[in-house]
Structures are given as C-alpha cells and as structure tokens.
Amino acid sequence: MKIFCVGRNYADHAGEMKADVPTEPVIFLKPDTALLRRGDDFYYPDFSTDIHYEAEIVYRIGKEGKYIKPSFALQHIDAIGLGIDFTARDLQQQFKAKSLPWELSKAFDRSAGISEMLPVSQYPNLKDIHFELFKNGQKAQAGWSGNMIFDIETLIVFISRYITFKTGDLIYTGTPAGVGPVKVGDHLTGTLNGRSILDVKIK
C-alpha cells in the first residue's frame, strides 16, 4: 500500500507558506508505516519540536491502474475519508534551506492520520466535499474540494503516468490554509460534509 501526498494543492495554503502556486501536481510519498489509523493516538516524536497538522481529503484506490484516462479516473476510487498530514516543520525548513529532500519531515512513523473510509457512493459530487478540522474544539481549518488546484481526476491521471496504482493505495489531496502546530494534550477532530469522522489525541 502506497500513500501519495499532494503538496500546495490549495492556493491559500501556498500563500501562507510563501510558496509559488504549482503549475503541475507536487507529489511525495509516505510509507505504509506512516499510517495512523482511526482511534490511535499520535505520540509526539523526539526529533522535532514543531509538529504541524494539515487536514486533507483522502481518496482510496479500489482498482489497479496505469496510464489512467480522465474519463475512467473516478472509477478507480472506492472510498473517501479525512486525513492529517503531520509535518515536522522545523526539520522541513532545515532540509529546504539546504536544498535537500524533506521526506524525513513528512514520512516518519504515524505521520499520516486517517479517519474511517466511507464508500464513494455516499459522495455523488466529488467536486463538492466540505471538510473541517478542530483543535481542542476550535475550528482550525475549513476546506472545499472545489478549491483544489488539481482535482482528483487530474491527480489520478498525473500520478498513474509515473506510478501504477494498486488496490488500497491512498491519495492525500492537499491542505487549505490554517495549518498550525500541535502540542502534547491537544485533541484534533474532523468532519467530512458535516459528519464527525476523525479523532486524534496528541500524547
């Protein structure tokens, strides 16, 4: 199982990170050991003092595919959920400053929080999915799939040109503005189209 992640897929987040808006998808991967399943706690790692949350819509691949055409892209999705791309921001900035790869700041163990995955049939319009993330009961992020720079069809076509999708692969589709730090004792919850679906405690 592969975890594909999309960077800077919302213009407002690119702005808050003082980064250029991309002209094609920015893709990085996390290993399967990064998955933090629903109900599990996130334990603050000892190699960072600045872990940030990034809430994202997550799509699960239900059918293998390579060089997928746009007209068939949505047929490869079988479930949708909400995820958190935990990022060691201090490490990421260090790596960026030296023009080095920054996987260690993104792909560390349990850095990919995931909610329960709901059947795609419950979401007839994939361009109209709203999500929210709350930190300690206060709204921290709100996003809408219609604001993604590259929609899910585009992402599937683009990624499958380079890497074959396998059943069970996940696509984290990027985060809107509002990312921020977490500390021990924080409690993150999230909704997808108003349904409470994500619950992570920081330990």
Which CA distances in Å does 126 have to 58, 60, 103, 134, 171?
11, 13, 29, 22, 14
Predicted local confidence at residue 16, as pLDDT: 75
Predicted local confidence at residue 167, as pLDDT: 98
CATH code where residue 50 lies: 3.90.850.10
Question: How many other CB atoms are found less than 10 A from the CB of residue 95?
Answer: 17
Tokens of 9: 């897929």
Q: How confident is the model at residue 14 (pLDDT cuts 50, 70, 90)?
A: low
Q: Tell me the residue type at 164.
A: T
Predicted local confidence at residue 184, as pLDDT: 98
35 pairs with which residues across the strands? 112
As a whole number, the mean pLDDT across the chain is 95
181 pairs with which residues across the strands? 52
Number of structural domains found in the chain: 1
Question: How many other CB atoms are found less than 10 A from the CB of residue 203?
Answer: 11
Question: For residue range 150-196, what is the model confidence (pLDDT) as tens digits?
Answer: 999 999 999 999 999 999 999 999 999 999 999 999 999 999 999 99
Task: Print the domain residue range for 153.
Answer: 3-201
String of DSSP letters for 83-136? EEE-EEHHHHHHHHHTT---GGGTSSTT-EEE-PPEEGGG-S-TT--EEEEEET
This prediction has a pTM of 0.96
Q: Are 126 and 90 in contact (CB under 8 A)?
A: no
Q: Are 165 and 173 in contact (CB under 8 A)?
A: no
- Which of these, 144, 191, 168, 167, lies nearest to 9 by C-alpha position? 144
